[in-house]
Every structure is written in C-alpha cells, then in structure tokens.
Amino acid sequence: MTAAVPATTLPQATPRRARRPAPRPKAAVTLPPPPPAADADPDFRALDRALRATAARMTQGLSPSVLLEAWTDWALHLSASPGRRLGWTLAAADAAGQFAVWLAEASAAGDAAPLVEPQPGDHRFADPVWRQWPHVAVAQAYLLGERLLLDAARRVPGVARQHENELAFLFSQWADVLSPTNVPWLNPVIMGHTLQEGGANLARGWLNWMEDAGRLMKGAPPAGAEEFQVGRDVALTPGAVIYRNRLMEVIQYAPATPTVHAEPVLIVPAWIMKYYILDLRPENSLVRWLVGRGHTVFMVSWKNPDAGDRDLSLDDYRRLGVMAALDAVTAAVPGQRIHACGYCLGGTILSIAAATMARDGDDRLASLSLLAAQTDFAEAGELMLFLDERQVSLLEDLMWTQGYLSGGQMSGAFQLLRPNDLIWSRFIRDYLLGDREPMTDLMAWNADATRMPARMHGEYLRGLFLENRLSAGRFAVEGRVVALRDIKVPIFALGTARDHVAPWRSVYKINLFSDTTVTFTLVSGGHNVGIVNPPAAERGSYQILTRQHDQRYVDPDTWAASAPSHGGSWWPAWEEWLRSIGQTAQVAPPRPSTTLCPAPGEYVHQA
C-alpha cells in the first residue's frame, strides 16, 4: 500500500518587509590544485633515496629493518613460549652439569675426551695446544656455549622460517666474534708466540695493520698483490683482441699445436671479477691447458663499469656480451659450431642467451658448459638469507647515488658468509701473530675487484634472485619468455662441494629444467679453488655422471651417493667430454682477421 500523504499546512501570513535587492551572483572561484604528494615530487624522492643510501653505506648494504623484523618476530614468540624457554634453560643446565663433571675429570687426569667437537670445516681449534690443559677447558666451554646460543634461534613456535634462518646466521656471527681464539690472552697459540718472541709478533702485527689501513685509505691493493701484475705475471697466454665494444673485448688465443679441433671454445667469465682467473700463471691456466690440447679458445674480457655505465641492463650483457662474442667467433671461425662455456654469472647469462637462441632457431652452439653457474635461485644458499624487497630496495638506493655497486661493497657480504676463514683467521695471523700469508696469484686476482652497473645489478637481483623468473618460465627476452628446456645441445654442468656463492645443489637443478643430455660433475674445493685445479697439481677429486635426456630425474643426494669418484683434476674429464661430442676433424689453426691489440687487452687493466 502507498502511505497517505498528510495535508500541507500553510504558514501564517507575516508583515511585509521592504524588498532587498537581489544579491549579485558571485564570480566563480577557481581553487588551486592540491599540492602533489611527496612521492610524486622527484626532489622528495631524491631526498629519501639519498638518506637510505647513506644508511646503506653505514650498514655495508644490509637493511636494518630485516634484522629488526627477524629479532622482533623471535623475541615476541619466545616470550609467548614458556615451554620453549624452560626446555632451553634445562638444556643449558644439563650442559653446565656435564661440563662441571668433565672439568673435574680433566683437571685431575690432565687429559679427557672432549664433550663437543668443532663443526666440520671449523679449524679454529686445530692446533694441538688446544687439546692441552687448561686450554681445552676454554675451548670446550666456548663450544658448549656456541651450541646453546645457536640452538636458541631454532624451534621457537610461530617464528617464520626465514626469520629463524636470519637470526641463526646473526647468532653465528656473534659467536664467531666472541671466540676465545680472537682474544690474545685466551689463545695459547698467540701467547706462545708472544712469549717466545718477546712481543715482536705484536710489533709486526701493528706494522701490518698500519700498512693495511694505509692501503685501504688509498684504495691500493693488499700487500704483495703488486707481485702479480696482469700481462707480466698473470694472464700470459699469447693471443690478440679481435673485437671490442663498450662492454667487453673478445680475445682469440694463439694456437700451440700444428692442427686444432675444428669447433672452437668460447668462455664467458663472470663480470663480478676479471676474466684472468682462468688464465693465471702458465702452470695453472685453464686457457693455456686447452690451447695446448689443440683447442681454439676465445675469451670474453668484461669492461669494469663506472658511473657512466649506470644504465647498462642485464639484457645488454646478453646482447653486447654473449651474442656479440658469438658473432665475433663466427666471423673468426666461419661455418663451425661453438662450444660455449660460462663461469658463475657468465654461465647464468650464457644460459639465458642459449635459451633465447633455441627459441629463435639460432643453432650455432655445439654444447653448453656451466661452471658453478646457477639457473635456479630457490636454493641459492646463505646469500638469500637477507635478500628480500627491503634489501634489494636499499641496494638500489645505494647504487642510485653511485651508479654502480663497488667491489668492496660486494666483498664484505661474501666475507660474512665465511667469517672464520676470511676475517678472523686473517686478523689473528696478520695482526696478532705478525705473519703475512704469502700472496698468491689467486689471492691477487681476488683483490682485483670490479664494479656492477646499477641497472643491471638491480635487474639481476630482482629478476633472478628475488623472483626466480628463469626457472619459473617468466623470464622474457625482447618481450617473449624463454625456456631452459628449449636448449637441446649437450650440457656439462659443474658444482663445487664447498661453494658459498653457488651451492652445488642449486647448480644441480639444471637437471630439473632441461630436456637434453646433462653431464654433471661435483668437484672438491670452493667456488674458485675448485675451478682452478690443474692436473699437474695432483690434488682434489671429482664425481661425474651423465643423465640422458630420456632418463628419469635423480635428486642431488642420490646422485652424490651413486656417482663414481675420481682423484685429481676435473679438467681432463671436461676436455674429453668436449672431444666426445664435437667434430673429430683437425684443421689448420684459424688466424685472426682483425687484431686490435695483444692479449690480455685493455679492459682487464681498468681499475
């Protein structure tokens, strides 16, 4: 039903008033636009980025919010977990009781089996004097405390796994700082040297520290590096630069045999360091060794970018790097397919280039060798602990002010992955014992760091590390996605057992994403020493096994348990693999049609 409308009540009449003139219409008022938001003002953005970049320099590129969030998550959940706190307290009390009993027995007997052994790879207490009383008691007390400290970061209900790993890493750093090996009066090795030399070791250590501090302020290389000059002491394999662009040079090495294998080898090294780790001294040069076995070898030598190269992209390293190098090799050795080999980052960009070539029907590759190179970053090791949006954003702000990420800023992060080997052991040896470790060619190369262009490094961290686009099928080249499974040439993939940069299980995952025959090799050693292992050194070992493209996938641990092991260098196994999949024809060595300058070229000398 429709509601009834009440009758309208008219108002009563009121006395007539004088009529006022109608007001003039007001002019339209145009209000000023609202001020732009701070985020839209480039000056404000610049202020914010400059402030964050300053903070990044102070923290060596580590985002404070990452640590704060991990600590807060752990502290809040631990405060709400009385059972976990009680369990840890009882464990600490039990450890204290065991230590007290052990201490009484050890002090009476002067010798006792240790309660706790150091972790594998921990050499801080390797000197036999640490087994003697009373130093063994100091070592055991520390190792028990270290174990309790690291256990405190684990198994707290509700803490995110990422935060748990971050905090465990932070606790391990604290434990390393507090080690009695770093305290002169608690370290019997240091005290023995000091008493024996009358303090001369400390005087030498002070001089060493003064020299290192002076070199650091001047930006000079470490002491002894001047004994390994590029082109004089290292990077000596004869050759010539046959191509150069704004990003890299291509070196063609001179033949050492009357005839050579028809198919050449192109090596793409990492641009995070200089190429000559693969051409150090003649006795440990992989390049010279390959040339001596009749291979025509080409090498990419990357430019050391500066602030003017801030806009170089990751795809520029593919186009101006890998693809331009392939064009140069094709021009030098026409009509032959190429065995392409990539090391570390060079292997990653080579994989992207190979997938793009397979997508586009470019069949110039004969094989693909990936040395300690990752194509999947889901298990990229401890580098991933603090790599999230906040961390990448902070690094981008730091690179925005500089145009690049310096070698020193990168080396600090790598040193934190192995603080006992790379920081504290050197501190003890150089400054407390006063003994300089003799400089080696590999150490001098490691000090010859390079920079990373801002745009490229940001794209690399986001697209590969943070979002893992390549193995997820979301990495686009020239607007179209590329897939690793499109690569049909044989793959030789190599991981190193003690690799903190590219963990071997991460490198192994090329088996998951490829649809071709993969020969995987696991070598002893780390990211650099495992690679530079000439046969004449007669050290190390390796495992090798081939999976055909139609065979089932085998997980890395099962592979490691079944792959046969061999002593010595992996170089002969790789060279035999190259010969087995390549042409058997021997040809006259190709001569460079263009020579820009002798090897090692110009870019390798850039500081």
Lookup result for tokens 């920081």? 423
Query: Could you identify the residue written with the tokens 């005087």?
Result: 203
Find how far residue 275's CA is from the centre of its chain: 16
Q: Are 254 and 239 in contact (CB under 8 A)?
A: yes
Token digits for 340?
Answer: 């392409």
Q: In a 3-state reduction of DSSP, which class is residue 114? A: coil
Residues 6 or more apart in contact with residue 137 via CB below 8 angstroms: 103, 106, 107
Please, how many CA atoms are within 13 Å of residue 440, restricted to the half-sphere of its CB? 8
SS3 (DSSP) at 561: helix
Integer Cα distance of 504 and 521 in angstroms: 10
Integer angstrom CA distances of residue 127 from 113, 123, 143, 198:
16, 8, 16, 21
What are the structure tokens assigned to 88, written together?
């840890």
Contact status, residue 230 vs residue 604, Cβ threshold 8 Å? yes
> Which residue stretches of 5-63 are H helix?
42-58
For residue 517 the two structure tokens come to 């025959």
Structure tokens at 428: 């003890």
Q: Which residues contact 422 (CB under 8 A, 6 or more apart)?
A: 414, 415
Give the residue carrying structure tokens 């090596």.
267
Distance CA 245, CA 404 (A): 20
Q: How far apart are CA 151 and CA 166, in angstroms?
A: 13
Q: Cβ(420)–Cβ(122) under 8 Å? A: yes
As given in the structure block, the two tokens for residue 390 are: 């906040």
Of 176, 166, 184, 167, nearest in space to 123 by CA:
176
Contact 355, 486 (CB under 8 A): yes
Q: Which amino acid is at 456?
A: M
Alpha-carbon span 494 to 523, nearest angstrom: 7
The Cα 451–Cα 579 span in angstroms is 36
| Distance of alpha carbon 268 from alpha carbon 321, whole angstroms | 9
Rounded distance, CA 513 to CA 536, Å? 35
Query: Which sequence positions are flagged as catalytic?
Result: 344
Amino acid identity at 589: P
CA 296 to chain centre: 30
- The token duo for 54 is 């300053």
Query: What is the SS3 assignment for 424?
Result: helix
Q: Name the 3-class secondary structure at 515.
A: coil
d(CA 248, CA 349): 14
